[in-house]
A and B are shown apart, each in its own frame.
Chain A
Amino acid sequence: MKSPRDPGKLLGFRPGADPGELPFLSSWVPGLSNPTREVQGQAFPPSEFVKSSGFSNREAAPVRLPVHSLLPVSSPPFPLPVAPAALGQCRCSDGCQVEAVSPPSSMAVAVSVKTALQVAEVLEAIVSRCVGPEGRQVLCTKPTGEVLLSRDGGRLLQALHLDHPIARIIVACVSSHLKKTGDGAKTFIIFLCHLLRGLHTITEKEKDSLISENIQTFERRWKNCCQWKFISQALLTFQTQILDGIMDQYLSRHFLSVFSSSTKERTLCRSSLVLLLEAYFCGRVGRNNHKFISQLMCDYFFKCMTSENGMEVLELVDDCFVELNVSVIGLPVSDSKIIDGLVLHRDFSVYCPADGDIRVAVVREIIQPVFSTSRSEFVLNSEAQFQTSQIWIMERTKSIMKYLLSQNVKLLLSTVKQPDLVIYYARLSGISVVDCLSSEEVSLIQRIISLSPFVLPQASLQCEISDTALVKFCKPLILRSKRYAHLGLISTCTFVPHCISLCGPVQGLVEQHENALHGAFKMLRQLFKDFDLNYVKKANDQNDALRPCIYKNNRKSNQVPKIGNHSIHRSYQDTGIKNSDKLEKTQYLKAHSNLVVSDVELETYIPCLTLKMMPPDRVQTDEIWRCLPPENKRITDDYELLIESNSTRNSLTENPGIEISYENFQVTNIAGKGSMLPVKYKSLDTCISQSFCSSSIPAGCVLPVGGTFEILLHYYLLSYAERCQQLEEIVVSKLIASALLGIPKILYKPKKGSHSFPQIYLRALHTLQTSQPMISCQAGLESVTGKYHVLTSVLQCLTKILTIDLIMNIKRQPLKNCDQDSEDELQH
């Protein structure tokens, strides 16, 4: 039995690998004191990595933080940190690296990789115990007394209510990532933590050399800042320019597909879907239920699907998931089942058993006429008039019901509460009524049977019913003493209506299963779409590895793109006006008096309007390589360069004020990040690449679980780094490559023997080197796009953290931030 406390595990690593070449860095996870101390294996890079980038085989001294400084995870509970005090303590413990420009009283605190790492490590410690098939549950209580069970990273981070500014940045990044993909929060944290750890190791090494030079601390600080900016740019360049190429050129040859045939008609392969779902639920649902839930989901999906392509079904189920599932609390989970037909979350107001030809009509208003409608007046002149009008109301209600019956309508669905009189006449006519339906439920019904609600004419007694539909049955359904209306709709779309009744002993567990199922549908929906990569390969692409160093070129001609940007920017505005219907909002940020950067967000971007901005000095390089920033993707280089030039100037003048404004500027940008700059600048050469075939990850691409994606990418990044000449690229590639291994390391932690991580890793490397097919020891598949999204989101988050140098504590009532609101609007 291997417990996490067992230090022998570390030693157990060694025999499998070459001890001389495998540096083994270990550190204590801060805040994890007794009894759950955790020892983490650090980077596990191959030998040449150590040589070139200077990762040393140095045993980092155990970093012990003051417990209050971070989120405590120890058994005696401590409150989570309050930012300034905590960071103040951090500074003490870490004196030589982090110094604030101003004295601590001003509450401005410098940010270092180390602080970020400490935060990330604590988050990682929590998250890593819930990850993968061996992950465990977390119980969250709400102040209202509700109890929620979860293994969902996003939910956990949310439940922690973190105070630390860096933690809040991370959480914000994770949540914007989740909004986009709905998956991968835990992987996000682990990966980020490993990246930071890698960066930290680099710094540690450089710090040593700096100390010997004995520079003034303050200058060193600026130096550090510049260095981070430098690294963050390199990361960005990597993400926008290198990553996609590697994905397309190398990784794609390992992709598997959930679709069984390669022809145009894609058919979903059941067995691969089972594998995919099992792997998904492994990480989402408690261990005693994941098999059952994934089986349930798979059955459900195939029952609902008529055509080969389930895209329409997925969209419908994802959109209307709440309406399609009924939670039953108090029964064991294993009693959950799939119910044929649609279960409405309401009981019949009137139920009249009927068989044969049952038609259904939908109404959105009260059937019984009223004395006066809004903004009108009804004048009663005599008692007889009152009586006759009451009789008229009765007669009319009756006649409408009669008419409905004559049209064979036996079931009336209503969004509003129908008065007693209507219910009475419905019962007399033998029409069942379900009223007070939510508009979501009604719109779901309309979507399934494409039925529009009927409108009551105001004047005449005759009413024309426009639309009715057949149903197979309608009957009450009793689930745990609660009554529901159960309809057998005859679908007109590809969705065959079925519902899931999810059972569980407690509400929290049912909720967890609901969320997991919903997430699975989201994941499938994304998987079934093609994903365009930010990479275009030319038909006659000769050299596949090398990227021309645009970066350098641009740096030299610092001033050019700025001017260019200005003018082009204006021209862009023009197009913006022309396409004003597509343009949601243009927002300007005045970061500096002479610098205007525009943040343009397009909600519905038409692909044919592919605008591109290429600075003159880059046009030539374009011939070989081109990076098309796709929608929702990242920034052009020029933009970064502007920042670069700006900050350099700042650092020269050493003006803290400007520095801060610059920082704010960064932060604001970051906040609006998920949707940031899908701008495609109008280019001088508007050649839309017909001759280039734009690459993409095709729909349904999967890889085996258990870190296959990470190990593959790790391998190809290293081999890329070998061929690369740019120092920063080498550093970044290797940094990312080694951080990627963090995930499989955690996944294989409880495994022993030939299934331990070093064994798996070496075997994988061997198969790749000898170009044999990869064989995964674990059954299960995962989506490639999902993994890819996590990777890019983490890199973006890291750049964000690295570009912040100062956290300022403001003691003031927070202002209502209009900018943020408008950005939120745009995101939806």
Chain B
Amino acid sequence: MMSCLEAHKPSLCHSEPLTTEKVRAKLTVLKGVLTSCYGPFGRLKQLHNGMGGSVCTTSQSTVLLRNLSVTHPILKILTTAVQNHVSCFSDCGLFTAILCCNLIENVQKTELTAATTIKLNKHLLNFCISYLRSEICGCRIPVDFTSTQILLCLVRSILTSKPACMLTRKEVDHISALILRAFLHTIPENTGEPIILGKCIIVPLKGQRVTDSTVLPGVLIEMSVQLMRMLPARKSSALKVALFATSLSGDFSDPGEGSVVVSYGVSLENAVLDQLINIGRQLVSDRVDLVLCQKVIHPSLKQFLSNHHILAIDRVGVTLMEPLSKVTGAQPIGSLGPVSPSSYGNAKNWCSAKFGCKHFFHLIPNEATVCSLLLCNRNDTAWDELKLTIKDPWVLLGGGCTETHLAAYIRHMTHKEPGSILQDDGCTQAELQLIAEAFCSALESLAGSLEHDGGEILTDMKHGHFWSVQAGPPSAVNWPDLLSRCGCGVYSSQEELTWSFLRSTHHPFVPHTRLPQEALEITQQSAHSLTVDCLTAKLSGLKVAVETANLILDLAYVIEDKN
């Protein structure tokens, strides 16, 4: 522990790190950067490394946080927490980060002790989660898997929240449809419990139009033009496939720890080649049509196979092995011994395809859950989102409505039944009011940061939804004419609502819980304009944000090791 041999520099110890102006300023800057990126109208950031490397334009939290070099330990904690969250859910990164910053900022203003704030934050979080998970929750919609509407909305919401993709409306529609189709492909037809999803291989293609993206069943293997030309003519019947996991290059496997002495005149190469040709003979006699090898095939063997009209493709790579095995039903062969007939697989057909400047060998399966999604602009986030949605088939209303609604509900409950949140923990009601206010305004200003163009944000006094209006509203306004739909698109302005400014103080009101059935039915028809978020990701984001904020608020010291 106290090693004398290492020259240690003593550590630096800062007390009450959050109270210093410097840290606060840093937090504000970070928050500013993040909020300006938030939402579909978020501003893009150009990341430029003075030391070299490519310039990157983004508004995504993943890219942004990965590239920003954060030095202060507190900010580091915050950004790592967000990054870890994003790597799990690939969504709600900015949501988590901004909420966390807002919470820290607001709670500090209350000047309550850390102990109280942390306790109350935790209670509020539990309250939110149980509300969002409860039946009466007014801001979630069940996912109806019989219709694709909501799923499509989900994908679309995510795509539109990534302004850096630079997609037009038409392109968004196209890609959303493709992603959804690819996703539906991977769901096996006869589903038992548990559902094992198939695989979608995303093949990125640069320099093509977005609308050229397609979904193809089966596997695409990239090939060079020369190899493409060497391919024999297509066969119409089904293919028998052999899939090799072992190298067919004739390299000598591990000789062991001792030494191997080879007598003069003995050629191991010949010996191995003999073995390879033997395998080739067996393949010929077994009437195999296609040989796929993960590693390299010896040129002699390749020649031998092509002489016998067997198609041989090598260097497939380990990532494609599993999908290939799934597509064809072939067992990867791992030895140079006799091949057991049971390890062969089948394919319907193959064809060569050219997309842009790349050539592909397209293996068409009989019936399988593997497909290839040719994406011209890559987006896997939407993908993960769909997977999560299957696990927890609910979506939350997006577009800021969940946040404002939640805030309204918390306000109302802290006013009416503080006992339901306060679990006799030695906190007073006044303390609860203060912290609840901080919590709610953190949520509301999060929703508010969706607006980037200087517009005003309103909330209605019935549902507590989010409405945004363009900058500079006339003084005497007829709100229903000025507003059209709320953030998520469930309600229209023609429903006899009253509005107030979100930032202004207003009396707590009772937001309507439990989405009315007719509202849902309206949305089913006009689902096109609905914005929704994945429940699992958002809940986890909420938890991570509050937990991280609590963690940071709890810090009494920062000890920096300066070695």
A751 vs chain B, min Cβ distance (A): 10
With A1-B112, A137-B554, A814-B5 known as contacts, the answer to whether A143 contacts B562 (CB < 8 A) is yes
CA distance A425 to B115 in the complex (A): 60
B132 vs chain A, min Cβ distance (A): 14
Most buried by B among A129, A156, A160: A160
With A334-B543, A377-B258 known as contacts, the answer to whether A160 contacts B13 (CB < 8 A) is yes
Q: CB distance A481 to B88 under 8 Å?
A: yes
- Tell me if B314 counts as interface (CB < 8 A to partner A): no
CB neighbors of B among A86-129 (8 A): 126, 129
Q: CB distance B10 to A332 under 8 Å?
A: no
With A372-B256, A750-B115 known as contacts, the answer to whether A286 contacts B551 (CB < 8 A) is yes
Q: CB distance A386 to B245 under 8 Å?
A: no
Q: Is the interface of B mostly helix, strand, loop or mixed?
A: mixed
- Tell me if A542 counts as interface (CB < 8 A to partner B): no
CA distance A175 to B2 in the complex (A): 10
- Tell me if B267 counts as interface (CB < 8 A to partner A): yes
- Tell me if A465 counts as interface (CB < 8 A to partner B): no
Contacts of B2 in A (CB 8 A): 168, 171-172, 175
Contacts of B5 in A (CB 8 A): 814
Contacts of B543 in A (CB 8 A): 332, 334
- Tell me if A618 counts as interface (CB < 8 A to partner B): no
With A71-B13, A419-B253 known as contacts, the answer to whether A139 contacts B547 (CB < 8 A) is no
- Tell me if A147 counts as interface (CB < 8 A to partner B): yes
- Tell me if B367 counts as interface (CB < 8 A to partner A): no
With A161-B10, A506-B81 known as contacts, the answer to whether A420 contacts B245 (CB < 8 A) is yes
- Tell me if B257 counts as interface (CB < 8 A to partner A): yes
Q: CB distance B266 to A814 under 8 Å?
A: no
Q: CB distance A138 to B268 under 8 Å?
A: no
With A77-B13, A149-B551 known as contacts, the answer to whether A159 contacts B544 (CB < 8 A) is no
Q: How would residues 381 to 398 of chain A score, 1 for a CB under 8 Å from any chain B CB and 0 otherwise? A: 111101100110011001
Most buried by B among A81, A334, A335, A750: A334
A395 vs chain B, min Cβ distance (A): 8
B202 vs chain A, min Cβ distance (A): 16
B110 vs chain A, min Cβ distance (A): 10
Contacts of A378 in B (CB 8 A): 255-256, 258-261
Contacts of B559 in A (CB 8 A): 138-141, 156, 159-160
Q: CB distance B10 to A370 under 8 Å?
A: no
A37 vs chain B, min Cβ distance (A): 11
With A36-B15, A141-B558, A383-B268 known as contacts, the answer to whether A509 contacts B551 (CB < 8 A) is yes
Contacts of B557 in A (CB 8 A): 73, 126, 129, 138-139, 156
Contacts of A168 in B (CB 8 A): 2
Stretch of B140-148, B228-236, B270-278, B284-292 with 4 or more beta carbons under 8 angstroms from chain A: B270-278
A505 vs chain B, min Cβ distance (A): 4
CA distance A433 to B84 in the complex (A): 30
Q: CB distance A379 to B258 under 8 Å?
A: no
Q: CB distance B121 to A506 under 8 Å?
A: no
A65 vs chain B, min Cβ distance (A): 15
B contacts with A, residue count (CB < 8 A): 82
With A73-B15, A156-B559 known as contacts, the answer to whether A288 contacts B261 (CB < 8 A) is no
CA distance A427 to B555 in the complex (A): 52
- Tell me if B414 counts as interface (CB < 8 A to partner A): no
Q: CB distance A72 to B268 under 8 Å?
A: no
Contacts of B333 in A (CB 8 A): 424
- Tell me if A428 counts as interface (CB < 8 A to partner B): yes
CB neighbors of A among B66-100 (8 A): 73-74, 76-77, 80-81, 84-88
Contacts of B429 in A (CB 8 A): none
Q: How would residues 311 to 350 of chain B score, 1 for a CB under 8 Å from any chain A CB and 0 otherwise? A: 0000000000000000000011111110010010000000
- Tell me if A552 counts as interface (CB < 8 A to partner B): no
Q: CB distance B15 to A74 under 8 Å?
A: yes
CA distance A419 to B245 in the complex (A): 13
Q: CB distance B550 to A814 under 8 Å?
A: no
Contacts of A129 in B (CB 8 A): 15, 556-557
- Tell me if B8 counts as interface (CB < 8 A to partner A): yes
- Tell me if B193 counts as interface (CB < 8 A to partner A): no
Q: CB distance B555 to A428 under 8 Å?
A: no
CA distance A145 to B112 in the complex (A): 32
- Tell me if A718 counts as interface (CB < 8 A to partner B): no
CA distance A332 to B92 in the complex (A): 14
Contacts of B245 in A (CB 8 A): 420, 424
CB neighbors of B among A12-53 (8 A): 32, 35-36
Query: Smallest CB-CB separation from A480: which chain B residue?
Result: B88
- Tell me if A333 counts as interface (CB < 8 A to partner B): yes
Q: How would residues 136 to 171 of chain A score, 1 for a CB under 8 Å from any chain B CB and 0 otherwise? A: 111111110101010000001011111100001001
A-B pairs with CB below 8 Å: how many? 263
With A130-B556, A161-B9, A331-B88 known as contacts, the answer to whether A147 contacts B335 (CB < 8 A) is no
Q: CB distance A372 to B260 under 8 Å?
A: yes
CB neighbors of B among A773-799 (8 A): none
- Tell me if B51 counts as interface (CB < 8 A to partner A): no
- Tell me if A540 counts as interface (CB < 8 A to partner B): no
Which of B76, B113, B256, B271 meets A387, CB within 8 Å?
A: B271
CA distance A373 to B256 in the complex (A): 6
CA distance A79 to B270 in the complex (A): 71
- Tell me if B160 counts as interface (CB < 8 A to partner A): no
Q: CB distance B257 to A423 under 8 Å?
A: no
Q: CB distance B555 to A424 under 8 Å?
A: no
With A147-B77, A421-B334, A505-B544 known as contacts, the answer to whether A175 contacts B1 (CB < 8 A) is yes
Q: CB distance A81 to B10 under 8 Å?
A: yes
CB neighbors of A among B93-152 (8 A): 111-115, 118-119, 121-122
With A288-B122, A333-B547, A427-B331 known as contacts, the answer to whether A381 contacts B263 (CB < 8 A) is yes
CA distance A720 to B85 in the complex (A): 59
- Tell me if B17 counts as interface (CB < 8 A to partner A): yes
Which of A161, A387, A420 meets B8, CB within 8 Å?
A: A161
With A383-B267, A425-B335, A428-B340 known as contacts, the answer to whether A75 contacts B15 (CB < 8 A) is yes
Q: CB distance B334 to A427 under 8 Å?
A: yes
Query: Smallest CB-CB separation from B542: which chain A residue?
Result: A332
CA distance A156 to B561 in the complex (A): 11
Query: Smallest CB-CB separation from B541: which chain A residue?
Result: A332
Q: How would residues 268 to 311 of chain A score, 1 for a CB under 8 Å from any chain B CB and 0 otherwise? A: 00000000000000000011100000000000000000000000
Q: CB distance A158 to B336 under 8 Å?
A: no
Query: Smallest CB-CB separation from B114: which chain A residue?
Result: A136
B293 vs chain A, min Cβ distance (A): 13
- Tell me if A3 counts as interface (CB < 8 A to partner B): yes
- Tell me if B357 counts as interface (CB < 8 A to partner A): no
CA distance A370 to B255 in the complex (A): 6
Q: CB distance A387 to B274 under 8 Å?
A: yes
Q: CB distance B246 to A288 under 8 Å?
A: no
- Tell me if A508 counts as interface (CB < 8 A to partner B): yes
CA distance A505 to B89 in the complex (A): 12
Q: CB distance A506 to B77 under 8 Å?
A: yes
Q: CB distance B16 to A505 under 8 Å?
A: no
CB neighbors of B among A406-449 (8 A): 419-421, 423-425, 427-428
Q: CB distance A163 to B10 under 8 Å?
A: yes
Which 3 residue pairs of A and B lie closest in terms of their CB atoms, listed nearest first? A424-B334, A80-B10, A370-B256
Q: Can you name 19 A-B pairs with beta carbons within 8 Å?
A: A1-B111, A77-B12, A80-B13, A161-B563, A168-B2, A287-B115, A287-B550, A331-B85, A335-B540, A373-B256, A380-B260, A383-B266, A383-B271, A423-B334, A425-B334, A428-B331, A428-B340, A481-B88, A750-B113
Extra pairs beyond A376-B258, A387-B275 (18, CB < 8 Å): A1-B111, A3-B113, A35-B16, A35-B19, A77-B12, A82-B10, A134-B115, A136-B555, A139-B558, A286-B550, A331-B544, A332-B547, A334-B543, A377-B259, A382-B266, A420-B334, A506-B81, A750-B113
